Structure 1
Amino acid sequence: MLFNPATDLAARFAVQCRDFALDPYPSREIRLSRLDRLLALTETHEAAIVRAISADFSGRSAHETRLAEIFMVRTGIRHARGHLKEWMRNRSVRTDLHFRPGRNRLLPQPLGVVGIISPWNYPFQLALGPALAAIAAGNRVLIKPSELTPHLSALLEDMVKASFDPGELSVVNGDAEVGKAFTGLPFDHLFFTGSTAVGRMVATAAAANLTPVTLELGGKSPAIFDPSCDLEVAVRRLAFGKLMNAGQTCIAPDYLLVPTGTAGKVATLLSAAIARMYPTLETNPDYTAIVSDRHRQRLVDLVREARDAGARVIEVNPTRERFTGSTRKFAPVIVLNARDDMRVMREEIFGPVLPIVEYGNLDEAITRINRMDRPLALYWFGRDPVHRERVLQETISGGVTVNDCLWHIAQEHQPFGGVGPSGIGAYHGEWGFRTFSKLKPVFHQTRLNGTFLFHPPYGKAFDMLLGALKRIT
């Protein structure tokens, strides 16, 4: 269903503002009720969610949907439920001696109405992951899903409508114009997941209302094979991380750095690892398709340009299938000898295409990473602790997984977020609760205290007191 940005969207926003004003600090019991209903939604409708996302992709691995979408959301909800009492408690804060017997505390307070703009690549997880954090923090939530996943977006709207009052949680579907109107609303916080280019526009629109934003973006996330790594293990884990969701993952390894003279060997091992995971492609239910014809054509163009410019292109197609027009699947591709001026090395790939680039020493690898925009993720494979710590300390990225790929995103006790062009802010676990809360500082003054000594009229007593404080603070 499409909504008129000027009427329906504004009306839904107004309902949530009104309802928040009536209950600006929901009790723990109310928040748990909302989380329980969200959890029940994931359990009752699992099969429908899998079917809807597969329909949107024209073939999405059911196992990947269950793991990367439904399991991730369930884990987040259960983690929030188990820690909500702790997160909501008032926190005592140290009070300096000269302000005692007064005392400090922090009060976690809901922000109000939160807007969430979710993308197409993980349309369930990246809509409800931020939503569950905002709900745990006591907020009202309005979600705008991607128009590129119409089946899941429509299902999400129906599921939410059946389980939640519009003043608690609501989903609005529509095209880019609806999305533009959405970003123009004066939310108390706006959460966006998507490309860096669109993220800039979202941040600009939010700035007009001084709306704080969390931007979960992307970029060219590097993987590094150290000379000390176990190649057989590393290529298998890298293949998994690269080809999950056919590479349509914001934290997928975007290019691979390997020691000089090893690119050919790594490509051979990687090709074999991919073939073991995906012995066939077109009718293989484990191998996900590209979300749209436009995105598939973009990958075709990237590979063609690299080949025409002199790169060596290796297509990993074990049975040499010729894809028919009825599928949007795209065979995995390894690119050797790619130059920095090629699009495949300048743009985020967001598909099953992996350039392999050789480096002479660790200094060279670190320099290459640091001269590019700061990535959302970085992956290092090896056994050398000195090299590992140098990479961790001398590069800046949103997050890191060592000796594997992707798994740092699944840690509820760690924050997830980008840095610079790959994002602003973080969520997951308690970090999500904090993102959607105002930690309000409160100072409690006592009946008897010494602050009257700072009152005018000022004189020698004031100067003596201030001088004493300068010596002890």
Structure 2
Amino acid sequence: MAATVVQLTESKKQIQHTHQVFDTQKQAFRNNPMPSLLERKENLNRLKRALLANKDRLVDAIDRDFTCRSKDESLIAEIMPSIQGINYTLKHLSGWMKPSKRHVSILFQPASNKVSYQPKGVVGVIVPWNYPLYLAVGPLVASLAAGNRTMIKMSEFTPHTSALFKEIIDSIFAEDLVSVITGEADVAADFSERPFDHLLFTGSTSVGKLVMSAAARNLTPVTLELGGKSPAIISPDVPMADAAERIAFGKAFNAGQTCVAPDYVLCPTDRIQAFVDDFRARFTEMYPGLKDNNDYTAIINERQYERLQSYLEDALAKGAELIELNTANENMKDSTRKLPLTLVLNTTPDMKVMQDEIFGPILPVVGYNSLDEAIHYINDRARPLALYFFGYDKDQQQHVVNNTHSGGMCINDSLMHVAQDDLPFGGVGDSGMGHYHGKEGFLTFSHHRAIFAKQKFNSGKLVYAPYGKAVHKLVYKLFIR
């Protein structure tokens, strides 16, 4: 009881602090509504220097939050894309900031049209637990590039990373420019209710609906980066070892706790056994052991671990065949929340693994008899965040591209589309709305302000009232046809 009271008191303080910071940032933005290119670049460089200086501390903090997070996975998926994203933005920001000239019809000449990219104001970012650094830094880079003030709500499930990131940000930015908010779920709920000028949320579809509902009360524009069941299609003729290896990488990375991880595999029915054999071989090469292997990441917390175990129990009870990839036959029950990657065969639609986003090292395999059958299977379900096709036939590739929808897509690879600096990242339908990364990030956090300008001579005066003059009839004849 006492602990609950303390938590409520701390949450109340955090919420009051959030309100104060929001008001401070709103006023600071009014005082400087159009930061210069030099200011924006200096902010980005300051962030880059701080990330590089604290690289090892950040990797260690993430490891402590997971109890075992591969150092290399943190370098590959947290540090490296954060730094590369800053570098790419620094290189192209001056071009992005230039107003875009637009056509003016002869009807309105002499005049000029342009689109000016104006900072929106105060941006809110809600960060999930699975990539706690990159999914904070990525939106922050885009927001700073666009000239905004930024408030970042970190996940309560990564307390070490959240505290360290707050320490770093507090040391390099004034609170009225960038502020990191910590706290429990009630703080996050209140955060989503602030009247931000833009709000970006990364997380589950169910929570995304709540965030969008809260934002709607303020007419706050939102970018939702959600999840969903991202399929991987294996073509009838691709070399199975190639497909299995690349899917194994995408599924095992971060123990499947990735929003764009392959969620299930669509495999020609007569090739399922070949997929199982090659997948097992490739996975075992990457992870010859699991329990004491620091390359294999643990499940983030007990709640998520128990959820995944319940999925396996549910599938088994409903007739599925489970193939646990634990070649060393280690006893994983007393390990630190490490869950062996498990293939699920003979699935049925009523199994939880075929209904919910898995978000862990469980991979259902669904058979199909024709490529169009696989496409129909995908299209009968909610649109996924990612789609993966494995096959070298160009006609097959284009057929899948033309006949499916997903937030993003890889052909003959997994996950890697997210790391492309010049590609937008975002979902569609149940997997989200809006985009960021690279130029799209700058555009998302900018108001595209249309500006029509005339000088002293006013040709429009010719069509002013009273109407019915010869010039009106001429204009109608020339331009209404």
Same fold (TM over 0.5): yes
Kindly indicate whether the alpha-carbon contact (under 8 Å) linking 1:3 and 1:174 is maintained by their aligned counterparts in 2: no
Alignment pair present for 1:165 and 2:161: no
Once the two structures are TM-superposed, the CA of residue 465 in structure 1 deviates from its matched residue by 3.2
Map 1:43-442 → 2, pairs under 5 A: 43-442=52-451
Q: Secondary structure at the match of 1:15?
A: helix
Alpha-carbon separation, structure 2, partners of 1:86 and 1:470: 35
Kindly indicate whether the alpha-carbon contact (under 8 Å) linking 1:134 and 1:433 is maintained by their aligned counterparts in 2: yes
Kindly indicate whether the alpha-carbon contact (under 8 Å) linking 1:218 and 1:422 is maintained by their aligned counterparts in 2: yes
Kindly indicate whether the alpha-carbon contact (under 8 Å) linking 2:120 and 2:447 is maintained by their aligned counterparts in 1: yes
Alpha-carbon separation, structure 1, partners of 2:296 and 2:269: 32
Matched to 1:395, the amino acid is T
Kindly indicate whether the alpha-carbon contact (under 8 Å) linking 2:384 and 2:405 is maintained by their aligned counterparts in 1: yes
Once the two structures are TM-superposed, the CA of residue 463 in structure 1 deviates from its matched residue by 3.7
Alpha-carbon separation, structure 2, partners of 1:372 and 1:454: 54
Once the two structures are TM-superposed, the CA of residue 384 in structure 1 deviates from its matched residue by 1.5
Alpha-carbon separation, structure 2, partners of 1:326 and 1:356: 27
Q: Secondary structure at the match of 1:457?
A: coil
Once the two structures are TM-superposed, the CA of residue 96 in structure 1 deviates from its matched residue by 1.0
Alpha-carbon separation, structure 2, partners of 1:298 and 1:288: 17
Alignment pair present for 1:446 and 2:446: no
| Deviant stretches of 4+, over 4 Å | none
**Residue segments in structure 2 that go unaligned for 5+ positions in a row:** 1-9
Kindly indicate whether the alpha-carbon contact (under 8 Å) linking 1:12 and 1:166 is maintained by their aligned counterparts in 2: yes
Kindly indicate whether the alpha-carbon contact (under 8 Å) linking 2:291 and 2:335 is maintained by their aligned counterparts in 1: no
Once the two structures are TM-superposed, the CA of residue 340 in structure 1 deviates from its matched residue by 1.3
Deviations 1:237-256 (A, max 9, x none): 11000111000000000000
Matched to 2:144, the amino acid is I
Q: Secondary structure at the match of 1:146?
A: coil
Deviations 1:423-472 (A, max 9, x none): 11000000000000011010111322321122111113354133233356
Once the two structures are TM-superposed, the CA of residue 78 in structure 1 deviates from its matched residue by 0.6
Once the two structures are TM-superposed, the CA of residue 362 in structure 1 deviates from its matched residue by 1.2
Does 118-127 or 265-274 show the bigger shift?
A: 265-274
Kindly indicate whether the alpha-carbon contact (under 8 Å) linking 1:334 and 1:355 is maintained by their aligned counterparts in 2: yes
Kindly indicate whether the alpha-carbon contact (under 8 Å) linking 1:219 and 1:422 is maintained by their aligned counterparts in 2: yes
Once the two structures are TM-superposed, the CA of residue 324 in structure 1 deviates from its matched residue by 4.5
**Length-normalised TM-score, structure 2:** 0.96
Matched to 1:277, the amino acid is M
Kindly indicate whether the alpha-carbon contact (under 8 Å) linking 2:463 and 2:472 is maintained by their aligned counterparts in 1: no
Deviations 1:96-155 (A, max 9, x none): 111111010111000000000000000000011001100000000000010000000000
Alpha-carbon separation, structure 1, partners of 2:12 and 2:446: 29
Alpha-carbon separation, structure 1, partners of 2:112 and 2:84: 37
Matched to 1:266, the amino acid is F
Q: Percent identity?
A: 46
Matched to 1:362, the amino acid is L
2:42 is aligned, of 33, 41, 59, to 33
Equivalent residue for 1:19?
A: 28
Q: Secondary structure at the match of 1:7?
A: helix
Change (3 A) 1:259 1:6: closer
Once the two structures are TM-superposed, the CA of residue 82 in structure 1 deviates from its matched residue by 0.5
Alpha-carbon separation, structure 1, partners of 2:73 and 2:473: 69
RMSD (Å) for aligned C-alpha atoms: 1.1
Kindly indicate whether the alpha-carbon contact (under 8 Å) linking 1:4 and 1:178 is maintained by their aligned counterparts in 2: no
Deviations 1:251-305 (A, max 9, x none): 0000000112211221111011111100000110100000010101111110111
What is the number of equivalent residue pairs in this alignment? 472
Matched to 2:116, the amino acid is L
Kindly indicate whether the alpha-carbon contact (under 8 Å) linking 2:68 and 2:294 is maintained by their aligned counterparts in 1: yes
Alpha-carbon separation, structure 2, partners of 1:261 and 1:340: 21
Alpha-carbon separation, structure 2, partners of 1:119 and 1:433: 21
Alpha-carbon separation, structure 1, partners of 2:239 and 2:47: 42
**Residue segments in structure 1 that go unaligned for 5+ positions in a row:** none
Kindly indicate whether the alpha-carbon contact (under 8 Å) linking 1:2 and 1:173 is maintained by their aligned counterparts in 2: no
